[in-house]
Amino acid sequence: MSRRFALSLAVVAAVLAALTLSNIRYSPWTNTSARTVDQRGPLSDAERANIELFERVSPSVVQVVARSGTANPLAEDEGGEAGAGAASGTGFVWDNDGHVVTNNHVVQNSSEVAVRFASGEVAQAEIIGVAPNYDLAVLRIRSPRKLPPPVGLGSSSELKVGQFAFAIGNPFGLDQSLTSGIISALKRRLPTSSGREIANVIQTDTAINPGNSGGPLLDSAGRLIGVNTAILSPSGTSAGIGFAIPVDIVNRVVPELIGKGRVPTPGIGIVAASEAVSTRLGVEGVIIVRTAPGSPAERAGIRGVDFNSGALGDVIVQADGKPVHRLSDLTDQIEQIGTGKSIRIGLKRGSQTREINIDIVDVGRS
C-alpha cells in the first residue's frame, strides 16, 4: 500500500466519523426527554415488615441532648450535632406520663436536658432518677403535651441467639436512623462506671454508634427487648459488637426510678477478690476479701482473707441453688431476689462446704 493511498484512507475515515457524530448529535430521532421509570413489583414481606416497624416505633424515639454548666442544651454546632460541653444520645417514651428512658452516661453531670421528637418539636426535660449500676436514667418532659405512644415491651428471657434485632437512634447526631441485625450472644457481662457489672447483657451486630446510646433495641414485632448502651470497638464506631441492657432489668429498674428517684443496690456486705485473682489461685467461686462492718455477711460469720497468714477465708460457690463461678453470678442472683429478703448461699472454707441463709440489704445507702 502506497503512502499516498494510506493517507487518503485516513482522510476518508476522519470525514465519515465527523459525519456520523453530526448525525447522532442532531438526529431528529435522538431522545432528549427523561427516561420512563420502570415499574417495580410489590415490596417483599421483609421490606414491608421493616417499614411498618419503623413507622410505628420511630415517633416514640427521641434525641436527648444534655449539657453541663450554663450553656443552652438546645444550641447546636454547625452540622446539627450537639455543641461543645454537650452529650447527645437517644431515648424513648416509656409511658403516658411524660417519662423518657435513656442511658445514665448520656445525662450524668448535666445541668440541663432537652429532647427532640421525631416531629422536630423540642422540649425541656428534667432528670428524675439515675441508676449508674445499670447505666439507666429516667427523664420527665416538663411541659404537658400529647406524647407519642410508649414503646411496647417484650421479654429478654425469651430471646434466642440468631433472631432479628433492630435499633432506632441518632448516631452521630443523625436522627431517626434504623439499623438491623441479629442477636449475636446472650448473658454477656458489662462493667459500668459504678464498678459493678450488668449481667445477662444482650450482644448484637446491629449497628450501634455514638449517639445511639439510650435508644431501643427491638425485636421483629417492634417490642422493646433492650436499651442500647455500648459498643466494643478500638475505633469508637460500630464493629459489629454492640451491647444492650436487657428489658427485664429495665422493667424492674425504671419503675423504682420513677417512684423513688433511685434504685436499691442489693448486697450482703462483702468485698470480693477480682476474677483475675481467683483464676491465678485456681479457685472456683468468689473469694471473700473482707466483710463490711455491721453487714449481714459479718453478722452471719463469713470470714475474709487472713492478711497476717495469707490464708483464704470463705469462698462463695453457690447462690440460691445455682453455681457461682464469678462475682456477676452472685450479684445476678442477689438482684433477682431483691432487698428485704434472704438468699441461701454455699460457702467453702478449706475442704468444708456449708450453706447459710443471709439477708439482702441496700448497700447503696450511705
Buried b (16+ CB within 10 A) or exposed e, 284-318: ebbbbbbbeeebbbbebebbbbeeeeeebbbbbbb
Q: Is 99 a catalytic residue?
A: no
Q: Is 22 a catalytic residue?
A: no
The DSSP-derived string for 196-229 is: -EEEEEEEE-S---TT-TTPEEE-TTS-EEEEEE
The dihedral built from the CA positions of residue 170, 174, 177 and 180, taken in this order, carries a sign that is negative
Q: Which of 60, 156, 180, 213 is catalytic?
A: 213
Which residues neighbour 83 within 8 Å (Cβ) at sequence distance 6 or greater?
67, 71, 75, 76, 77
Question: Parallel, antiparallel, or unpaired for β 164-169 and 177-191?
Answer: antiparallel
Which residues neighbour 9 within 8 Å (Cβ) at sequence distance 6 or greater?
none
Q: Which of 60, 135, 180, 278 is catalytic?
A: 135
Q: Is 213 a catalytic residue?
A: yes
Give the CA distances from residue 82 to residues 61, 63, 74, 184, 208, in Å, rounded to whole numbers and listed in that order: 17, 10, 8, 31, 18
Q: Which of 105, 175, 177, 328 is catalytic?
A: 105
CA 360 to CA 338: how far, in whole Å?
7
Which residues are the active-site residues?
Answer: 105, 135, 213
